[in-house]
Amino acid sequence: MEKKSPNPRTSIVVPFYNEQENIPELYQSLTRVMGRLNVTYELIFIDDGSTDNTPQILKDLYEKDHRVQVIKLRKNFGQSAALQAGFDYAQGEIIISMDGDLQHDPEDIPLFLSKMEEGYDIVSGWRKKRVDNFFFRKLPSLVANRMMKKLSGVEIHDFGTTFKAYKREVIKSVHLYGELHRFIPALISREGVKITEIPIKNIVRQKGKSKYGLSRVRRVLFDLMTVKFIISFIDRPL
């Protein structure tokens, strides 16, 4: 759907895959928080091939709020592809990405924006107190984060969270595939960008079904090797 907001200061990019139960509450929370900040903004909602009522809910929001932009993908391409579509479309000077399952709290957005004002290029969320399943989420995340920190030299604790803020010119230079959205700070760490992190709330999913499973763990491990290759050879001809 084509509709541009006039010169938004901030773009918030949210991919959805079968999240019909969570969209209305997330939209209300986002508009409430952004309204308090008194800044121009756009909400870029990506339907990643949903098979529930997500497309209709997004269409309704698009029609009633000029700040809502909707991108509909033909099928479920995955979170990285959905985020890439949102980043490509975003017009804001600062672009914030987050999940659409209400496990990220919009009330944390002012913290990201405040930190960006200090001159950082990327501000990454840190789920300091994880509430996820230990074996399926916390343990694989702990291993992956330690490996990526060692491989990239980027001193952050939580590469995996989608909840991050970027300067437009930084994120526009990134091309994502696989599960690489998790490792954006590592991918561009050799470009001299300033990266920091802030603690964020980690909320237990209340509605809908998690899309995380063992197959995703395998993909993340493969992407760790991909990121290592990219980092090792970014300054050398292939």
What amino acid occupies position 200? I
Q: Determine the 3-state secondary structure of 15 from DSSP.
A: strand
Q: Is residue 33 part of a domain?
A: yes
**How many CB atoms sit inside 10 A of residue 142's CB?**
15
Q: Give the pairing type, strands 94-97 and 164-167.
A: antiparallel
Which pLDDT value is given to residue 182? 74
Q: What is the mean pLDDT of the chain?
A: 85
The terminus-to-terminus CA distance of the chain in angstroms comes to 39
Q: Is residue 3 part of a domain?
A: no
User: For tokens 């010119």, what's the residue?
Assistant: 169
Q: Is residue 113 part of a domain?
A: yes
Give the CATH number, domain containing residue 172: 3.90.550.10
Mean pLDDT in residue range 194-217? 72
Q: Cα dist. 119→115, 165, 198, 227, 232 in Å?
A: 8, 12, 14, 26, 27
Which pLDDT value is given to residue 61? 98
Domain boundaries, position 29? 10-233
Spatial separation of the C-alpha atoms in residues 187 and 220, rounded to whole Å: 14
Could you tell me which of 212, 107, 207 has the C-alpha nearest to residue 163?
Answer: 107
**How many CB atoms sit inside 10 A of residue 38's CB?**
6
At 26-40, the pLDDT tens digits run 999 999 999 999 899
Which pLDDT value is given to residue 184? 83
What amino acid occupies position 234? I
At 73-114, the pLDDT tens digits run 999 999 989 999 999 999 999 999 999 999 999 999 999 999
Q: Is residue 5 part of a domain?
A: no
Residue 129 has pLDDT above 70, yes or no: yes
Could you give the number of structural domains in the chain? 1
Stretch among 50-59, 142-151, 194-203 having the lowest mean pLDDT? 142-151
Banded pLDDT at 139 (limits 50, 70, 90):
low
Spatial separation of the C-alpha atoms in residues 124 and 165, rounded to whole Å: 6
Instruction: State phi, psi for 74 to the nearest 5 degrees.
Output: -65, -30
Residue 2 has pLDDT above 90, yes or no: no
Residue 238 has pLDDT above 90, yes or no: no
